Amino acid sequence: MASTVWRDAGKRLVIAADRSPRQLDIKLPDLASRMTWGMVFHVQPLDDAQRLGALQLRARVRGMQLPDEVARYILHRGPRQLDQLSDVLARLDRASLSAKRKLTIPFVKQALEW
């Protein structure tokens, strides 16, 4: 019943797991059945080139210009998780606006104390 209400309201439910819905040990038959209704995506971790692209895309969305060499430096020195990299971008965004400076490797070193 709840899934019908959500669907009619235009809502979505996203569930993440380390295996497909059919391989999960779900005790409730109703829930196990419903878990197989939706679309299933197998998501792969990003390689370094894709991670670089994602970092630069997030920078562009924030209105920042992130040169390739600076992005590579951040990836080499910074965290590997995208959510943590987003936090780094937020810090750099605030620092660059405050200092009225472009993102360069020396500025990133200074702003992040690396």
DSSP 58-87: HHHHTT----HHHHHHHHHHS-SSHHHHHH
Structure tokens at 70: 């600076």
51-96 pLDDT, tens digit each: 999 999 999 999 999 999 999 999 999 998 889 999 999 999 999 9
Question: Considering the domain boundaries, does residue 11 fall inside one?
Answer: yes
| Full domain range(s) for residue 52 | 48-112
Taking the whole predicted model, whether its pTM rises above 0.85 is answered as no
Report whether 48 contacts 79 (CB < 8 A).
no
Question: Is it the case that residue 1 has pLDDT exceeding 60?
Answer: no
Within a domain: 94: yes
For the chain, the domain total comes to: 2
CB 112 within 8 A of CB 92: yes
Residue 41 in domain:
no
Q: Are residues 56 and 106 in the same domain?
A: yes
54 and 102, same domain (yes or no)? yes
